[in-house]
């Protein structure tokens, strides 16, 4: 855990660099901390309970509380994430200890805390690890051999919290459904009852939050389309499409590692299948399969398959023991952990760029009393509150927001615009554009606007 704390607290405010999604989530948390409610600021509007974030109160509320207590900073916003990170380490160790024993639990923890995909997803204000924390907590309750109804209710509540925290953890519902169908076919009525209660509680406890979001603006169908990869552009080609075109993207080290863990973990699950209730094993296997399919059919972001990666870790050592001698598998897993640790120590796997912070400093110095539209949330979230500065999302994000929130009036249309230029845009950047930082430029208003005095 000392190593986990080192990686967790190291450069908390700068590494990983703030990027699109965690910038959005911090904007909502800051809005809540400042007394504006659970709202997302767009131009002069405040959109209450914005569904397009696909995260909920278990992520936003602790971050807002930390901002309220310590004032806004990236480090303050990330403090609650460290609690989720360390809590997940503890829960996964306990889970593995109960599933496959002490040696497997130690290797599992070592492979977890050295994994940059885990630490660098957990530190930013993102929903993946907090959601996994509640999912894993529910699976720990699920793991018990005492099929009492109160355990089913508790597991359902935890699963619902995971879904509210991060929408993609709704994959627990079809996973429970598959286990339910198999138990129904086998006529194991006590397990059917347990799964029915857990699934219904999870679904019914999630619905009020979803209705609250949808009461303010419709568009959930489009959001699910985005989550499953529809509407991907040239910069985010779907992973499966790249593979089918013959591109060797699957040969990247993280994907090869996942393939190895999938092999060893699957063998481990098979070897230990009689140790647990059958509906528990079926649910775990279904979750791993669903998250793997979700990753392959989406944008190829490793955080999409990270839950499957983490669920495989408790069973990797047992699977390895079925193929290799204990010392050999120990050396193999130790070598993987060492490689992962060095990779993470070298700040690999995430950006260390400071250009967004530099752009924010430029705006603070040069535009304190001047109007400006800021298109990049990683810059806007660093700016102090100022009536001259308004946030307007990028076209990709704006397409997922109800139209009434993204219509500029004439005055806003004629404000200078700060945006991050792509590689092609940089090649054609005008000498008259004001550079705020490396790839961040402030563009003048359209030509038909009156001159700025």
pLDDT digits (tens, 9 = 90+) for 45-90: 999 999 888 899 999 999 999 999 999 999 999 999 999 999 999 9
Together in a domain, 267 and 365: no
Higher pLDDT pick, 137 / 276: 137
Q: Which residues contact 192 (CB under 8 A, 6 or more apart)?
A: 180, 183, 184
pLDDT confidence tier of residue 166, bands split at 50, 70 and 90? very high
Backbone angles phi, psi at 121, to 5 degrees: -90, -30
pTM of the model: 0.92
Last residue of a domain, one of 292, 313, 345: 345
Residues 334, 386, single domain; the answer is no
231, 380: one domain? no
* Chain-centre distance for alpha carbon 303: 6
In a domain, 25, yes or no: no
Q: What is the pLDDT of residue 276?
A: 86
334 and 375 in a single domain? The answer is no
Please tell me the distance from the alpha carbon of residue 329 to that of residue 268, in angstroms, as a whole number: 13
Nearest to 120 by CA among 353, 350, 352, 343: 350
| Structural domain total, the chain | 2
Q: Judge whether residue 129 has pLDDT over 50.
A: yes
Q: Are residues 318 and 414 in the same domain?
A: no
Domain identity same for 404 and 332? no
Q: Return the CA Rg of the chain.
A: 23
Band of residue 448 on the pLDDT scale cut at 50, 70, 90: confident
Among 307, 327, 345, identify where a domain stops.
Answer: 345
Q: Is residue 169 part of a domain?
A: yes
**Does the structure show a pLDDT above 60 at 231?**
no
Tokens representing 112 are: 């977890």
pLDDT tens by residue, 243-273: 666 666 667 888 899 999 999 999 999 999 8
Burial class (CB in 10 A: 0-12, 13-18, 19+), 94: middle
Any idea which residue has 């985005």 for tokens?
Answer: 226
223 and 336 assigned to the same domain: yes
Quote the mean pLDDT of the chain.
89
d(CA 41, CA 416): 18
Q: Are residues 338 and 359 located together in one domain of the fold?
A: no
Q: Which two structure tokens, joined as six digits, stand for 258? A: 């996942």
User: What pLDDT does residue 234 have?
Assistant: 45
Q: Are 27 and 21 in contact (CB under 8 A)?
A: no
Q: Does any domain span residue 15?
A: no
Task: Please report which confidence band the pLDDT of residue 235 belongs to, taking 50, 70 and 90 as the band edges.
Answer: very low
Assess whether 114 and 151 both reside in one domain: yes
| Residue 259 belongs to a domain | yes
* Whether 217 and 92 share a structural domain: yes
Whether the bond between 16 and the residue before it is cis, its omega within 30 degrees of 0, is yes
Length of the chain: 453
pLDDT, average across residues 342-354:
88
Domain of 207? 53-345
């Amino acid at each position: 855990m000392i190593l986990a704390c080192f990686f967790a607290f190291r450069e908390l405010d700068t590494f990983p660099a703030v990027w699109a999604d965690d910038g959005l989530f911090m904007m909502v948390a800051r809005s809540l901390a400042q007394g504006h409610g659970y709202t997302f600021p767009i131009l002069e509007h405040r959109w209450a309970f914005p569904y397009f974030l696909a995260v909920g109160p278990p992520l936003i509320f602790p971050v807002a509380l930390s901002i309220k207590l310590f004032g806004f900073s990236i480090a303050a916003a990330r403090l609650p994430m460290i609690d989720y990170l360390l809590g997940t380490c503890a829960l996964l160790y306990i889970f593995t200890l109960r599933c496959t024993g002490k040696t497997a639990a130690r290797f599992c923890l070592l492979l977890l805390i050295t994994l940059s995909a885990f630490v660098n997803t957990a530190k930013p204000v993102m929903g993946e690890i907090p959601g996994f924390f509640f999912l894993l907590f529910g699976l720990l309750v699920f793991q018990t051999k005492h099929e009492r109804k109160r355990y089913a209710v508790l597991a359902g509540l935890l699963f619902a919290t995971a879904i509210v925290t991060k929408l993609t953890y709704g994959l627990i519902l079809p996973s429970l459904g598959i286990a339910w169908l198999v138990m129904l076919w086998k006529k194991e009525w006590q397990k059917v009852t347990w799964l029915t209660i857990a699934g219904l509680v999870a679904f019914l406890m999630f619905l009020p939050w979803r209705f609250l979001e949808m009461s303010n603006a419709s568009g959930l169908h489009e959001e699910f389309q985005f989550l499953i990869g529809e509407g991907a552009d040239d910069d985010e080609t779907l992973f499966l499409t790249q593979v089918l075109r013959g591109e060797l993207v699957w040969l990247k080290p993280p994907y090869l590692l996942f393939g190895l863990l999938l092999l060893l973990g699957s063998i481990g699950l098979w070897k230990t299948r009689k140790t647990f209730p059958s509906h528990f094993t079926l649910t775990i296997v279904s979750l791993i399969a669903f998250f793997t399919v979700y990753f392959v059919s989406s944008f190829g972001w490793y955080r999409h398959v990270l839950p499957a990666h983490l669920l495989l870790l408790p069973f990797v050592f047992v699977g390895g023991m079925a193929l290799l001698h204990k010392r050999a598998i120990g050396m193999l897993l130790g070598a993987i952990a060492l490689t992962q640790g060095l990779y993470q120590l070298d700040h690999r796997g995430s950006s260390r760029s400071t250009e967004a912070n530099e752009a924010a400093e430029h705006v603070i110095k040069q535009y304190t009393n001047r109007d400006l539209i800021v298109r990049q949330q990683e810059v806007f979230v660093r700016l102090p509150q100022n009536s001259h500065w308004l946030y307007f999302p990028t076209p990709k994000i704006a397409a997922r927001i109800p139209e009434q929130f993204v219509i500029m009036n004439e005055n806003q249309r004629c404000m200078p615009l700060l945006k991050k230029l792509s590689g092609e845009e940089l090649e054609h950047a005008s000498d008259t554009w004001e550079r705020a930082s490396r790839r961040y430029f402030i563009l003048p208003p359209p030509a038909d606007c009156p001159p700025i005095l």
